[in-house]
Structure 1
Amino acid sequence: MKKYKHEAQLLKKALQIGEVYALQRGFAKFPPGISEKDKVEALYMLLAEDKRLTPLPKDKITGPEMRHKLVLWLANQLPKDHELLDG
């Protein structure tokens, strides 16, 4: 499992971009006060359903694994020399 030095920042950006993607797909905006855990789960499920990321095996779907999948999803879309991809 590839680790990134700036994984927390990548996750934050992935959640922002994922929310925009969900809105474009016709889903409602996340309500104020929704937990990061719930956002991660909702966006992971949407992106896996839309085949935008490779889904985890059912027995491996955990919070940290879903977060990491969102980070990988974003990292694959960024230019190779992007500042958040160092390390």
Structure 2
Amino acid sequence: MKKLKNEAALFKEAMLAGVKYAEGRGVVQFEATDSASEKLLYIYRLLVHDKVMQPLPEDQVAEKTIRHKLAMWYAKQLPKDHPLLK
């Protein structure tokens, strides 16, 4: 798994985009008490269910790999000249 430049910032933005996507679909309403891990797994499973991203093999589903996968998903949506990709 190759680490992306600015992966932490990309992941942070990916989480915000994922929450917006999930709540926009009307399938979930996240609470302030929901942990980041719960949100992360829910967003990942929803994006896989909607066929927005390819699933990981079940034995590789872990917080670290999902964080990376979400960061990559978000990076692919950004324009090539976006500051987070430099």
Q: Calculate the TM-score normalised by the size of structure 1.
A: 0.91
- Runs of 5+ consecutive residues of structure 2 not aligned to the other structure: none
Moved over 3 A (4+): none
Aligned to 2:8: 8
Q: Counting helix residues as a fraction of each chain, which structure ranks higher?
A: 2
- Runs of 5+ consecutive residues of structure 1 not aligned to the other structure: none
Q: Give the whole-Å Cα distance in 2 for the aligned partners of 1:19 and 1:47.
A: 11
Deviation of 1:33 (Å): 2.3
Q: Calculate the TM-score normalised by the size of structure 2.
A: 0.92
Q: How does 1:1-87 map to 2 (within 5 A)?
A: 1-86=1-86
Identical aligned residues as a percent? 47
Deviation of 1:77 (Å): 0.4
Q: Give the whole-Å Cα distance in 2 for the aligned partners of 1:2 and 1:52.
A: 21
Root-mean-square deviation (CA, aligned residues, Å) is: 1.1
Q: 1:76 aligns to what SS in structure 2?
A: helix
- 1:44-74, Cα deviation, whole Å (9 max, x unpaired): 0000111111110111111101111100110
